[in-house]
Amino acid sequence: MKHLQTLKLIDAVTRAGSIRKAAEDMHITSSALNRRILGFEEEFGAAIFERLHGGVRLNPAGELLIQHIRGQMADLDRVRSQVADLSGLRRGHVSIACSQAIQPYFMPAQIAAYRAEHPDVSFSVHVRDRDAAEADLRAFESDLALVFEPVHIGDIDVLLAVEQPVYAVMEKTHPLATKKKLRLRDCLGYAHVVPPKRIGIRYLLDLAVASMSQKMEPIAEADSFEFMRHYVQHERAVGFQFPIGLNISGDDRLVFRPLPKEDVPYGTLALMQMRGRTLSVASARFANQLATALTSLRNNLD
């Protein structure tokens, strides 16, 4: 399978942007790697890299080729997984991109449950915003993506979509903590902390505020929900989060209050894969497990 090694080397050079760096990563000499690339280009009938001062980058032919290479490697991993499944080994690897709200509670529980049944399956978890998650799918960096408010879709299949309300998060002594029905205007009357615009929940907050006379004037903007949950314990501020990212019954330091749908649109949490891609056995089974768990979660919120 010598040709596969050449394809892996091309992928390594693409990621590194440098023949020297890729050679170090792949444990071969720069001159040997360069010869392999030149030999491939001659056999392929076209150059695939532009040689630049200090590095290389793909030319248009190379951009087309790298998509083919990554698709072929993903297909090979799928076949390996199927062969392992036939032999009863149930091995494999699952790569998933997810919103940071999914990372602290939901995803660890799901992976642990899956590995209890299939202990020879390994995982890669990439915390991504909605744009980056879709880019991961297109580049075959991730088999699956689970993100809020996907942006482009197009060449991506949505396997399941569920709604989540937006919750206000505050310290338990906050004046709003005892309010039975909390409105967005109440939250904006106090200091508030929000994520940047590329994060799905900020998109929903911006939609809501656009139709209000009251405006959002955050005291802090942070791309970490963990930061926001901790910050509201130091100042009488309000943060915002989806319930899937909260330990609602297990954190007695904070109070969590849902905001009504008429105030803030519910967020759409989408489980996605690249359109036309056949997932490995391990990834397909994990996708089914996630879909079952998300459906149960949706039913519990209804």
Domains of the chain (ranges; CATH) run 2-65 (1.10.10.10), 90-162+268-301 (3.40.190.10), 166-265 (3.40.190.10)
Q: What is the pLDDT of residue 173?
A: 92
Average confidence score pLDDT of the chain: 88
Q: Judge residue 58's burial from the number of C-beta atoms within 10 Å of its C-beta, 0-12 exposed, 13-18 middle, 19 or more buried.
A: middle
Q: What is the pLDDT of residue 55?
A: 87
Q: Judge residue 286's burial from the number of C-beta atoms within 10 Å of its C-beta, 0-12 exposed, 13-18 middle, 19 or more buried.
A: buried
Closest CA to 281 of 40, 20, 77, 2: 77
Q: What is the pLDDT of residue 232?
A: 93
Confidence (pTM): 0.71
Does position 15 have pLDDT exceeding 80, yes or no? yes
Does position 108 have pLDDT exceeding 90, yes or no? yes
Q: What is the pLDDT of residue 2?
A: 57
Average pLDDT of the residues in 200-214: 92
Q: What is the pLDDT of residue 44?
A: 86
Q: 129-176: per-residue pLDDT in tens?
A: 888 999 999 988 899 999 998 887 778 999 999 999 999 999 999 999
Average pLDDT of the residues in 78-99: 75
